[in-house]
């Protein structure tokens, strides 16, 4: 997931606490050494860097949701969630547990990220050169079948069997460790180069294959360290730039957001939106939490 503003751990750390109420004196803990009240707890959170960052996140999320939340549908969130879940496979629940989060919390985080993308897209001018360059590197819808081998040696043996003339169905059944698409003999849904559902390394290997039946001659190492064998089933004709303009624009914005070199530019975009909405922090302890955003881009725009 995108790392720019909303880290999962920060969301989890504070997400269930912001509703406690700053004015409550409810006792949270008692001991022979004393007690801790909600007031004390929240006061301590407000002083912490994590608490201040989460306050900034809350403000940004609230403002962006009002302005750009309509650009993100429930199906958008669900699709992104399903993609994340598919990438983790059987270890998805373990990944949630290790981050002390739930599916609902993850969906909230995904929604915030999609809204941020919509906000940046609306305020970031994509040049014709960027679009043309993205189109040159664009690969059209491609359908592949995939063997997920248990290790590199198994992947090599699968390739050797294919070279010996064994058919794909037989080799797939013998060597794949992932049965998600077993009924289709490992065939994945079609994807293009803007897809986030298929590992980049697998995509790159697939796009190098030329005709139906071609397969990778060496094991493909995924970003997760797994080993794969890819065979090409079908490749469509490359569509016109105009027909994929929106996809390419989203890809450009996503790359922009994920490049740490653009942090100050992103902060300037967010700051411009916050200033337009007349954001004014009243609490003295939290007064400066948004300074990075509120002042970003002002001097350079004069």
> Which pLDDT belongs to residue 184?
95
Rg (CA), the chain: 24
**246 three-class SS:** helix
pLDDT per residue over 48-72, tens digit each?
999 999 999 999 999 999 999 999 9
Q: Tell which residue, 48, 62, 39, has the closest CA to residue 13.
A: 48
Using alpha carbons, select from 185, 191, 152, 181 the residue that is nearest to residue 166.
185
Q: Return the closest-CA partner of residue 251 out of 79, 107, 143, 130.
A: 130
Residues 6+ apart with CB under 8 A from 130: 252
Q: What average pLDDT does the chain have?
A: 89
| 23 pLDDT more than 60 | no
Does residue 20 have a pLDDT over 90?
Answer: no
Query: For the segment 214-269, what is each residue's pLDDT rounded down to a tens digit?
Result: 999 999 999 888 999 999 999 999 999 999 999 999 999 999 999 999 999 999 99
- 79 or 140, which is more confident? 140
The pLDDT assigned to 11 comes to: 39
Question: Comparing C-alpha atoms, which of 170, 150, 169 is closest to residue 219?
Answer: 150
Which residues have CB under 8 Å from 73's CB, separation 6+? Answer: none
Is residue 21 exposed (0-12), middle (13-18) or buried (19+ Cβ within 10 Å)?
exposed
Q: Please provide the DSSP assignment of 12-46 as one string.
A: HHHHTTTTS-TT---EEEEETTEEEEHHHHHHHHH
222 within 8 A of 216, measured Cβ to Cβ: no
**112 near 69, Cβ under 8 Å?**
no
What pLDDT is attached to residue 17?
Answer: 45
Q: In what order do the strands lie in the sheet with 220-221?
A: 142-149, 227-235, 220-221
Range name among 78-92, 149-163, 275-289 with the lowest pLDDT average: 78-92
User: Cα–Cα distance between 123 and 118 in angstroms, integer?
Assistant: 9
pLDDT at 297: 77
Q: Lowest mean pLDDT of 5-14, 84-93, 289-298, name the range.
A: 5-14
Proportion of the chain above pLDDT 90, given as a percent? 75
| 24 confidence band (pLDDT: 50, 70, 90) | low
- For 163-221, how does the pLDDT look when each residue is reduced to its tens digit (9 = 90+)? 999 999 999 999 999 888 999 999 999 999 999 889 999 999 999 999 999 999 999 99
Mean pLDDT to the nearest integer, 142-153: 96
| Residue 3 DSSP symbol | -
pLDDT on residue 15: 45
What is the mean predicted confidence (pLDDT) over 96-109? Answer: 92
* Distance of alpha carbon 196 from alpha carbon 193, whole angstroms: 8
What domains can you pick out in the chain, each with its CATH number?
48-128+244-295 (no CATH), 139-237 (3.10.50.40)
């Amino acid at each position: 997931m995108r790392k720019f503003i909303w880290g999962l751990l920060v969301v989890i750390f504070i997400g269930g606490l912001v509703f406690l109420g700053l004015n409550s004196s409810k006792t949270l803990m008692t001991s022979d050494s004393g007690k801790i009240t909600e007031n004390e707890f929240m006061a301590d959170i407000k002083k912490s860097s994590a608490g201040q960052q989460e306050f900034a996140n809350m403000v940004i999320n609230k403002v962006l949701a009002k302005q750009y939340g309509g650009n993100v549908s429930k199906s958008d969130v669900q699709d992104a969630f399903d993609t994340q879940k598919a990438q983790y496979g059987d270890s998805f629940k373990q990944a949630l547990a290790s981050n002390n989060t739930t599916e609902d919390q993850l969906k909230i985080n995904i929604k915030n990220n999609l809204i941020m993308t919509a906000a940046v897209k609306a305020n970031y001018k994509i040049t014709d050169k960027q679009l043309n360059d993205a189109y040159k590197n664009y690969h059209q819808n491609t359908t592949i079948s995939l063997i997920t081998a248990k290790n590199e040696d198994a992947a090599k043996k699968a390739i050797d069997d294919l070279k010996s003339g064994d058919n794909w169905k037989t080799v797939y059944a013998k060597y794949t460790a992932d049965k998600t698409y077993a009924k289709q003999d490992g065939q994945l849904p079609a994807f293009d180069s803007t897809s986030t559902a298929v590992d980049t390394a697998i995509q790159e290997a697939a796009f190098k294959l030329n005709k139906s039946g071609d397969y990778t001659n060496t094991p493909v190492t995924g970003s997760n360290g797994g080993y794969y064998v890819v065979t090409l089933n079908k490749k469509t004709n490359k569509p016109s730039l105009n027909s994929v303009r929106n996809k390419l624009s989203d890809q450009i914005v996503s790359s922009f957001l994920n490049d740490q070199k653009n942090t100050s530019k992103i902060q300037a975009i967010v700051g411009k939106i916050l200033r337009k909405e007349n954001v004014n922090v009243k609490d003295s302890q939290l007064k400066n939490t948004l300074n990075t955003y509120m002042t970003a881009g002002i001097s350079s725009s004069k």
